[in-house]
Amino acid sequence: MNLNYLTQAIANCEAILHQQEFQAETWQQSCRDLGNLLQGLGRFDQAIVWHSLALESKPSLVEAYTHIGQLYVRESQWESAINCLKQALKYQPNSVQLYSTLAQIYNQLEEPEAEMECWYQATQINPNLVNAGGYHKLAKAFYHRNKLDEAINCYQRAIEQSEASETRQSNFEPHYELAEIWLEQRKINQAVSCYQQILDQDPNQSRAHHKLGTIYLRQQQFEEAITEFRQTIQIEPEFPGGYRDLVKTLIQFQKWDEAIATCHAIINLVEEYPWVYVQLGNALREKGRISDAIASFQKACVLKGWQECRRKDYSFTQDNFSYRISLWQSCLQSLANQADIQALEIGSHQGMSTCWLLDRILTHSSAKLTCIDSSFDRYFENNLDKTQARSKVTLMKGEIQQLLATLIPNTYDVVNLQDRCKLTTQIEQDAAYIWQLLKVEGIAIFNDYGWINPTNPSQNPKLGIDRFLESIKNQWEIVSHAPQIYQLIIQKKYE
C-alpha cells in the first residue's frame, strides 16, 4: 500500500514542477508527504533530501527533477525516470552525472544506441570519464552504426589515453582501426600517420609495415613499398601477406629476377601457395622461360584441386582463372555430369576456363559447350585437343555480338562472359544477349566485375553489367559476388 502511495507522491511532485504558475505551499506539502512516506519505508537518506526540499519556497529545477528521476529509477519506472532526467538536462546541459545516469537506464532497457549516445555526451563534457578501453569500445560501437565522426573522435581519445599509459605498446588496435576509417574515406595521409605512430612506438609491428607497403603500392611508390614489405618479412618470416605483396610489387616494378628468387624463397621456406606459382609463372614468362612458366601455372591449378591440368599437360602462359576455381566449383557443382547441359563461353583466351569446364562440369556424354571469340589463340586449340572432349565443343569465330544474335534463345544452362573488349557499352550489350540465351534457372558468370582501366574510364565492365541488370530488376538473384576476384554470378529466375 505504501508503495502505491509513494508512486503517486512522486508523480504529484513532478506534476507541480510542470505547472505554469508554481505554488510554493503545494510544493512544500508534497515534499513533506514524500519525505514521510520514504521515512516510513526506512529509506532515511532519501527522506532527508525531500524534507530539505520542503523547506525551499522555490527549489532548483535541476535538483528537483534529478531527485524525482532517481526515485523513479529506484522504482524501476524507466520511462518516467528518463523524462525527468531529460527535463533536468534542459536546465543543466553540461551535467556528466545526468548523462551517466541516463546511460545506465538505457543499459537496463537494452537500448545500446541511446546508451552509447549518453556516454559519448558525458565524455564530451569530461574527457577523463572513461579510460582508453572505454573510448575504444565506444569508437567500435559508433563505427558499426556508421557514425564516423563520433567514431573518429573516440578512436583519437583512445589513442591519447593509451599513449599516456604505461601499457601503450600492447594496445595498437585503435590506431589500426582508425587508419582503416581514414582509408575508407581516402584520407591517405591520415592513415599513413596512424601507422607511423605505431612504428614510432614499436618498430617491430609487422602489420603496420605491411599496411604502409600496401598504401605505397597503391600509389605506385614501388621502392617504398618494397622496403616496407621486406621489413614485414624480416620481422615475421611466416607472414604470407608480406611475401605476396612483395612479389606483386617486384613484378609491377619489373624486377623479374628478384621476383623469381622471392617466389622460390616462399616455396622453400614458407608454403606452396597457389598464388606463389601464379606470380612465379608471370615472372618466368617475362624472362622468356616459357616452359618453366607453363609448369608453374600447372602447379597453381593442381594446388587449387584441378589435377587434370598437369595430367593432361595443358599449356598456359598466363593464368586468368585458377583463383576462381574454388568459387566455380561451389556454384556449378549441381550441373556436374548432368545430361544435356549446354554451356556458352564468350572469350576463351588460352582455354583455362574452357578446359576446366570440360574436365569438371561438362563430363556427361551429352553435354555441349559453345565457344565464341574474335580469334582463337594457338594455345587454346592445342589445349582443347588435350581435353579429349573436343567433339562436345562448337567454335564460333568472328564479331562476337553478330554471332550471339544467331544463337537460339533459352538454350544455355550456364554462360561465362569474359569478352576481351572491356568497353562499358559493349559489355552492357553482351549482357542483354546473354539474358536472352539463358534458360530460366540458368547461371550467368560475369568476369571483370569491378575491374576498371584507370587510364580509360570507358572500360568499366561493372557499369555496363549493372545498367543491364537494373533493367531486368527482380528477374534474377545473386549466386555469388566476389569483389576480390572481380566476379559476379547470378541465376535467372524469370523471363
Q: For position 292, which CATH number holds?
A: 1.25.40.10
**Domain presence at residue 166:** no
What average pLDDT is seen over the chain?
87
Q: What is the dihedral of CA 189, 191, 195, 197, to 10 degrees?
A: 70
Q: Is the pLDDT higher at 52 or at 320?
A: 320
**Domain presence at residue 190:** no
Eight-class DSSP state of 77:
-
Q: Is the pLDDT higher at 213 or at 85?
A: 213
- Number of neighbouring beta carbons within 10 Å of residue 333: 11
Considering the domain architecture, whether residues 470 and 397 belong to the same structural domain is answered as: yes
Of 63, 92, 121, which residue sits at a domain end? 92
Considering the domain architecture, whether residues 351 and 477 belong to the same structural domain is answered as: yes
pLDDT beyond 60 at 20? no
Q: What is the pLDDT of residue 17?
A: 64
Quick one: which H or E segment has residue 188? helix 188-201
The end-to-end CA distance of the chain, in Å, is: 71
Angstrom distance (rounded) from CA 131 to CA 434: 58
Considering the domain architecture, whether residues 370 and 432 belong to the same structural domain is answered as: yes
Considering the domain architecture, whether residues 347 and 420 belong to the same structural domain is answered as: yes
Q: For 96-155, how does the pLDDT look when each residue is reduced to its tens digit (9 = 90+)?
A: 788 877 878 877 888 877 877 887 887 777 777 778 888 888 888 888 888 888 889 888
Considering the domain architecture, whether residues 289 and 421 belong to the same structural domain is answered as: no
Considering the domain architecture, whether residues 343 and 470 belong to the same structural domain is answered as: yes
Considering the domain architecture, whether residues 294 and 357 belong to the same structural domain is answered as: no
**Domain presence at residue 43:** yes
Angstrom distance (rounded) from CA 407 to CA 437: 7
Q: Provide the domain limits for residue 53.
A: 2-92
**Domain presence at residue 123:** no
Considering the domain architecture, whether residues 464 and 385 belong to the same structural domain is answered as: yes
Considering the domain architecture, whether residues 387 and 450 belong to the same structural domain is answered as: yes
**Domain presence at residue 315:** yes
Of 258, 292, 319, which residue sits at a domain end? 319
Angstrom distance (rounded) from CA 8 to CA 315: 88
Question: CA quadruple 73, 76, 77, 83: dihedral positive or negative?
Answer: positive
Question: CA quadruple 83, 89, 91, 92: dihedral positive or negative?
Answer: positive
Considering the domain architecture, whether residues 308 and 327 belong to the same structural domain is answered as: no
Q: For position 389, which CATH number holds?
A: 3.40.50.150
Total number of domains in the chain: 3
Of 52, 67, 92, which residue sits at a domain end? 92
pLDDT beyond 50 at 1? no
Considering the domain architecture, whether residues 390 and 279 belong to the same structural domain is answered as: no
**Domain presence at residue 167:** no
**Domain presence at residue 218:** no
pLDDT beyond 60 at 180? yes
Considering the domain architecture, whether residues 300 and 331 belong to the same structural domain is answered as: no
Q: For 477-490, how does the pLDDT look when each residue is reduced to its tens digit (9 = 90+)?
A: 999 999 999 999 99
pLDDT beyond 90 at 73? no
pLDDT beyond 80 at 350? yes
Rounded to the nearest 5 degrees, what angle is found at the Cα of 49, between the Cα atoms of 48 and 50?
Answer: 95
pLDDT beyond 60 at 38? yes
Which of 245-254, 293-302, 440-449 shows the lowest mean pLDDT across its residues?
A: 245-254
* Confidence category of residue 240, pLDDT binned at 50, 70, 90: confident
**Are 481 and 488 spatial neighbours (Cβ–Cβ below 8 Å)?**
yes
pLDDT beyond 90 at 58? no
Q: What is the pLDDT of residue 31?
A: 75
**Domain presence at residue 122:** no
